[in-house]
Amino acid sequence: MRIVVFSENNYGCGASIAAYRLVKGLSKNNEVFFIYEKNRAKFNIFRNIKFSVWHLGKSTSIFKNSIFIGFNILSKLTKTNINRWFLFKVFYKKIKDFKPDIIHFHNTYFTHEQIAKLSENFPVVWTMHDQFALFLYNYKVIKFDGNEKVYCPINDWRRKFYDVDKLLNNNDANIVFTPPSQWLADLGKTVINGRKRIEVIHNGIDINEFFPIDKKKARTNLGLKNKFTFLFLAGTGAWERKNSIIIFKALKLIPDLDIQVVAIGSVTKYKFDDNRIINKGAVYTSEELREVYNSADVFCIPSVLDNLPNTVLESLLCGIPVLGSNKGGIQEMIINDKTGWSFDPYSASDLAIKIEFLYNHRDSIINKTEECRNSVINKFSEDKMINSYTTLYKELKKDQR
């Protein structure tokens, strides 16, 4: 089959990483055209690739680049959608030449009319990596003070260009939404209300990309001590949703616990005086991440809301159990007491109790490697993802005729 996969970013965020992994899997038996708008990769992700890649809105021609920049500036000055109109014209011409069987979106900001136009000629699959496609914002979370926080809501003046109801009510729009988690599917169904098809297809991962390696060696390479290690990935982007602060609060409740807490990423928003916390900075490649996960006894993901995080799959494939928030789709990825444990992300005491429990039972954790890996292989493998999407593509292609 000929498949266009469109992603807002080429790499660097969870949605784009999932899109990239899908493209790699699809390209084994299909002709894939990967299109993205923003270059966020910190390294060359396209080496030894078997698919075509195109950076929409970017050109080797200085003249064409000037046109793209001009339309972006004009859009901001006039508060119109003229830049999206122009990008779509370029995009539509390109894919018509490619003649795809399917267009697969992973985060997009085309208008409802543009998406409908595409779907009339090429069936559209839209993987919902967050709530945007149906709710016009990425996430809505409850903060610790009880107030709501909405991440990345669509600007009021743009709402007329992307109207969810007009897209869902368009009977000619051949589009299927594929949230990776049941949590997001259940939310989506309340909006779709039977007007379009929505189907859970889990994000998949190459089971050979992450795997167990010697823990002592991993710790030595990272300059860590050979002691109980608690790992989390920090970040200043969407930091309230990612909720790293709860880890620092929990550690204050167990000040005498002899552990080392490794933070990957930026924790500059937080002020902490706990010498057990070791900030190792940003990590990008799979090789580096393998070593980081394998250095840990437990990986913690404390998000107050998340969909189906890649980090959980990566940790489990390395044989490292997960202590995860019981909100969103995270709980769907963990088999309690076998591949991980859940906790209330609003409760520092609950997290502290869980950390202390795991420390006191650390000898039993090392026996969970096989269960952790099998949980991903059986449910979230690349093969399962590709088979599910291929089946869907064939159904849509058949219906389009």
Q: How far apart are alpha carbons 10 and 17 in whole angstroms?
A: 8
pLDDT confidence of 367, banded at 50, 70, 90?
Answer: confident
Instruction: Flag whether the pTM goes above 0.85.
Output: yes
- Going by C-beta distance under 8 Å and a sequence separation of 6 or more, which residues neighbour residue 183? 307, 328, 329, 332
User: Per-residue pLDDT for 148 more than 70?
Assistant: yes
* Cβ–Cβ under 8 Å, residues 181 and 200: yes
Q: Mean pLDDT over residues 16-31, rounded?
A: 94
pLDDT at residue 364, as a whole number: 86
User: Per-residue pLDDT for 266 more than 90?
Assistant: no
User: Per-residue pLDDT for 271 more than 70?
Assistant: no
- Tokens 């995009």 appear where? 91
Low-confidence winner among 111-120, 149-158, 348-357 (lowest mean pLDDT) = 149-158
Q: How far apart are alpha carbons 101 and 124 in whole angstroms?
A: 9
Please count the CA atoms within 13 angstroms of the CA of 206 that sit on its side-chain side: 14
Q: Where in the chain is the domain with CATH 3.40.50.2000?
A: 2-204+381-400, 215-379
- Going by C-beta distance under 8 Å and a sequence separation of 6 or more, which residues neighbour residue 34? 5, 7, 10, 19, 20, 23, 51, 52, 53, 54
Q: What is the rounded average pLDDT for all residues in the chain?
A: 92
Q: Mean pLDDT over residues 289-300, rounded?
A: 97
Closest by Cα among 291, 165, 151, 307 to 231: 291
User: Per-residue pLDDT for 40 more than 90?
Assistant: no
Token digits of residue 263:
């933070």
The domain 2-204+381-400: what is its CATH number?
A: 3.40.50.2000
CATH of 215-379, one of 3.40.50.800, 3.60.20.10, 3.40.50.620, 3.40.50.2000: 3.40.50.2000
pLDDT confidence of 193, banded at 50, 70, 90?
Answer: very high
* Cβ–Cβ under 8 Å, residues 392 and 125: yes
pLDDT confidence of 159, banded at 50, 70, 90?
Answer: confident
